[in-house]
Amino acid sequence: MNRAFLYNASANLITFVLMMLMSVCLTPYIVHTLGVEAFGLIHLTQNMINYLSVITASLSAVVVRFFSVAAHKGEMEKAQRYLASYFVSSFLLSISLFLLCLFVSHQLVEWLHVPVHLAKDTQTAFILGGLLFMLNFVMSGIGAAPFYANKLYVSSIGQAIQMFLRALMIVILFTWTTPAIWHIPLAAVIGSLAAMGIGIYYFKKLIPWFSFKWRHVSLSSSLTLVRSGVWHSFEQMGILLFLQIDLLMTNLLIGAEATGQYAAILQFPLLLRTLAGTLAVVFAPTITKFYSNQDKEGLIQYAANAIKWSGLFVAFPAALLGGLAGPLMLLWLGPAFEELKWLLMIHAAYLCLTLMFLPLTYVPTVFNRLKVPAVVTLILGVSNVLFAYGLTHLLQLGLYGIASAGAMVLLIKNIVFLPFYTARITNQKRTIFYKHTLVPLAGGLFIWGICAGIQAVYNVTSWWELFCIGGLCFILYMGYLYLFAGTKRERMQLMRKVKHAVSR
């Protein structure tokens, strides 16, 4: 592992820990302050706004790739055209989409199950959420600088500051004014503006050779991005249908209160997905560089190792979440939510299996082979909606039907399709990536078994006991990593580095 990787991974993990702590603290605070129904509407409206990413993904999903490949090849003029064209295109498109959000906000209450007393606040929250989405859309171009320079910890700094300001503003608004749903997206907008300022500063610092000039704005460059990214839009449509359709279906099929309960449950699976995503993106710059240098053998080996290390990072929190789901729900949100622990276990189990494959998603991107993943993802997304409707409405499984449908679809996509397709486009054996999953899976089962065994003989009733169990599991998992995660040579190198650090 080189220094850049360690910096990026460490920064992303620290950001994830901060995100987790803030989510753990803010979720019960918001639920008890605004109520379960209001909490569900906050996340439901933001999910609905995220559906606009079907349109924006055609630009934002590929601009970093095109810019980085061109810059690594020394084609600086070409790289500047891609980025300048993106900034202008994203700004114009953002204005159009924000006007669409204004129109939709007036129809929102008629489409959803929204209590009358929350109708106006929900509309305001939707408009502010639309503004937040547009800011993040434009900021995707700013993220090209740390990606190209392989200094993703810069983006992590911005995210950490954004999260801190968001949490601070929520507390201030709830304390100094009458708490309302729209305070949550307003706080997020304020945090996003601060992150944008930091991003612009480092953007100029990391790629000083870039300067925005109107002569670099090119319709042909924009069309190149759109043509390549159109399949990303189709893929994004499928992703939304099996990752961000849960709350909408819960609201339409079950009701507003169930939406709030499920939104609370989803906080931890969302954190796991965020952790896996931030880890996966750490590997992306090096994968892009291997491709730019036409080193396919190095790319395959690096991607395989990325699966193993990503899996090892994700397996521990996923297993801990599933193994301690019962006492966690009781202590976190109260007795009314304890019965939903099985939902948390379902999410923890399938995410432990599927999230380790996320680094492979960057391989079709750098090869610009996006058509097949897009079509498959869209088909699976539609299947998820049909499964969820059948299990929830026809078989009357409620929230468990929605969770089970998502689990089945994600298992098919990440465990079956993604490694097979990656092996195919790189001319490798179809099973080349699976052998790297054994150590993470065994580690996850090891930790889950310890948690289950402790609860079988001891009743966990306090946060202190929960933290002690987590600490014990962490120590045991570190021992497991030392013994099984690396080779004997890697363990010796690690010990030498530790001794050298201690001596210094």
Tens digit of pLDDT for each residue in 67-125?
Answer: 777 777 777 878 788 778 888 887 888 888 888 888 888 777 777 777 778 788 888 88
b (16+ CB within 10 A) / e for 254-289: bebbbbbbbbbbbbbbbbbbbbbbbbbbbbbbbbbb
Token couple for 477: 């998992």
Total domains in the fold of the chain: 2
Specify whether 326 is located in the same domain as 215: no
Full residue range of the structural domain in which residue 55 is found? 1-233
**Between 292 and 466, the higher pLDDT residue:** 466
- Say if 257 falls within a structural domain: no
Q: The whole model's pTM is what?
A: 0.71
Name the residue with higher pLDDT: 1 or 368: 368
Q: Taking residues 34-52, what's their average pLDDT?
A: 78
Please check whether residues 179 and 285 belong to one and the same domain: no
Same domain? For 195 and 283 the reply is no
Pick from 210, 230, 183: nearest CA to 83:
210
- Per-residue pLDDT, averaged over 136-146, amounts to 77
| Residue 319 forms part of a structural domain | yes
Give dist(CA 408, CA 354) in Å, integer. 11
Residue 295 maps to a domain = yes
- Give yes or no: residues 210 and 286 share one domain: no
How confident is the model at residue 476, as a pLDDT?
A: 93
- In this prediction, residue 352 carries a pLDDT of 87
Q: Which one-letter amino acid corresponds to residue 486?
A: G
Question: 59 with 175, same domain?
Answer: yes
Q: What angle do CA 13, 238, 355 make, to 5 degrees?
A: 30
Q: How far apart are CA 432 and CA 439, in angstroms?
A: 15
**Best-predicted range by mean pLDDT (75-84, 153-162, 427-436):** 427-436
Structural domain contains residue 243: no
Determine the Cα–Cα distance for residues 176 and 295; give it in Å rounded to an integer: 58
Residue 27 sits in the same domain as residue 161: yes
The string of DSSP letters for 120-152 reads: HHHHHHHHHHHHHHHHHHHHHHHTHHHHHTT-T
Residue 4 has pLDDT above 70, yes or no: no
Query: What percentage of residues in the chain have a pLDDT greater than 90?
Result: 6
Same domain, 46 and 163: yes
Residue 484 forms part of a structural domain = no
Asked if residue 361 has pLDDT above 70, the reply is: yes
For residues 129 and 275, state if they share a domain.
Answer: no
- Claim to verify: residue 320 and residue 226 sit in the same structural domain: no
Contact status, residue 356 vs residue 279, Cβ threshold 8 Å: no
Where does the pLDDT of residue 475 fall: very low under 50, low under 70, confident under 90, or very high at 90 and above? very high
Q: Is 197 left (phi over 0), alpha (psi -120 to 50) or beta?
A: alpha
* Residue 276 and residue 345 in one domain: yes
Residue 499 in domain: no
411-423 burial, b at 16+ Cβ within 10 Å, e below that, comes to: ebbbbebbbebbb
Indicate whether 361 belongs to any domain.
yes
- Shared domain for 151 and 223, answered yes or no, is yes
Co-location of 38 and 79 in the same domain: yes
How far is Cα 134 from Cα 122, in angstroms, rounded to an integer? 19
Domain contains 104: yes
